[in-house]
């Protein structure tokens, strides 16, 4: 019989805890060694003492039993086992909880390599946004094609409050529900982060359309999207957009737009960027 996903997760939790315990010695955690040991690493009783939990309860957890566990207890176990940030997040996920994220932890700055990717993607539009959908880097093509200016700092805010962006987006009304559903899904990944609610409240106060869509509580997974633009100078352009998660920056995404074949977007984009280059002072 094939084990259920929950059973597999508990099995992985069991193996993970055993492996983390096996790599430590009493000396590593400031405990005296008590005679010869048949197996390497800390004993279960020692981990329980260090974490301040009952020996039986910790044994059940390590055996993969279906028991309830809180974030506070997981933090205590992570400290006892000397887990780093990635290991602590893994422990939370294996225990069936969302990993917390410190409110003060800022989005990492885009690396030079990521900036080079955006530069190489030009003259096609692209940008990097953080987990709150704040723009971190926008390339020149995205500014030229989508009308992003110095006042545009957040993808969601611009979508619902910028009259210029709304005029240029040929399918704004059709796209709006999916935009809100994706933002709500992203917010659910960071339940202890109040910034999502603050952003949503601000946009709702400025946009009745957003307020109505937000109250529906719909969610959807990130997907390849189509962005149709009515550019005042270049004319109609259609882009396929792909959102790529950045593993070294949790919640951050690289968003790349590619001209849709057969729409003439390639030629219009090339002419638009050529005019911009010519208009720049030498």
- CATH hierarchy code of domain 112-279: 3.30.450.180
What is the pLDDT at residue 104?
43
Q: Which residue has the tokens 């982060």?
A: 193
Locate the domains of the chain by residue range: 5-94, 112-279
Whether residue 83 contacts residue 20, with contact meaning beta carbons closer than 8 Å, is answered with: yes
pLDDT tens profile 84-133 = 888 888 888 888 887 765 544 556 667 788 888 888 898 899 999 999 99
Matching fold, domains 5-94 and 112-279 = no
Q: Residues of the chain with pLDDT > 70: what percent?
A: 93
Radius of gyration of the CA atoms of the chain, in A: 25
pLDDT tens profile 240-260 = 999 888 877 777 899 999 999
Tokens of 169: 């987006």
pLDDT tens profile 208-222 = 999 999 999 998 877
pLDDT tens profile 184-200 = 988 888 877 888 988 99
pLDDT tens profile 53-72 = 889 989 988 888 888 888 88
Angle separating helix axes 5-22 and 85-94, nearest 10 degrees: 140
Q: Measure the CA–CA gap between 129 and 186, rounded to whole angstroms.
A: 12
Alpha-carbon distances of 266 from 126, 145, 235, 273, rounded to whole Å:
15, 12, 12, 11
Fold for the domain defined by 5-94: 434 Repressor (Amino-terminal Domain) (1.10.260)
Across-strand partners of 227?
Answer: 239
């Amino acid at each position: 019989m094939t084990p259920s996903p929950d059973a597999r997760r508990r099995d992985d939790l069991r193996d993970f805890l055993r492996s983390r315990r096996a790599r430590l010695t009493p000396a590593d955690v400031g405990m005296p060694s008590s005679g010869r040991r048949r197996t390497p690493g800390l004993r279960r009783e020692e981990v329980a003492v260090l974490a301040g939990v009952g020996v039986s309860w910790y044994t059940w957890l390590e055996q993969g039993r279906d028991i309830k566990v809180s974030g506070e207890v997981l933090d205590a176990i992570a400290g006892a086992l000397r887990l780093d940030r990635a290991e602590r997040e893994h422990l939370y996920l294996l225990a069936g909880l969302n990993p917390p994220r410190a409110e003060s932890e800022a989005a990492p700055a885009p690396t030079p390599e990521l900036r080079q990717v955006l530069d190489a993607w030009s003259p096609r539009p692209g940008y990097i946004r953080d987990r709150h959908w704040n723009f971190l880097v926008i390339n020149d093509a995205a500014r030229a094609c989508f009308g992003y200016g110095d006042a545009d700092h957040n993808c969601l805010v611009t979508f619902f409050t910028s009259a210029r962006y709304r005029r240029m987006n040929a399918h704004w009304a059709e796209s709006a529900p999916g935009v809100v559903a994706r933002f709500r899904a992203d917010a659910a990944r960071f339940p202890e982060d109040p910034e999502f609610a603050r952003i949503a409240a601000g946009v709702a106060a400025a946009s009745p359309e957003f307020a109505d869509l937000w109250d529906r509580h719909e969610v959807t997974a990130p997907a390849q999207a189509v962005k149709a633009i009515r550019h005042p100078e270049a004319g109609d352009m259609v882009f396929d957009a792909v959102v790529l998660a950045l593993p070294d920056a949790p919640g951050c995404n690289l968003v790349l737009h590619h001209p849709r074949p057969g729409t003439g977007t390639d030629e219009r984009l090339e002419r638009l960027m050529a005019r911009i280059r010519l208009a720049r002072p030498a």
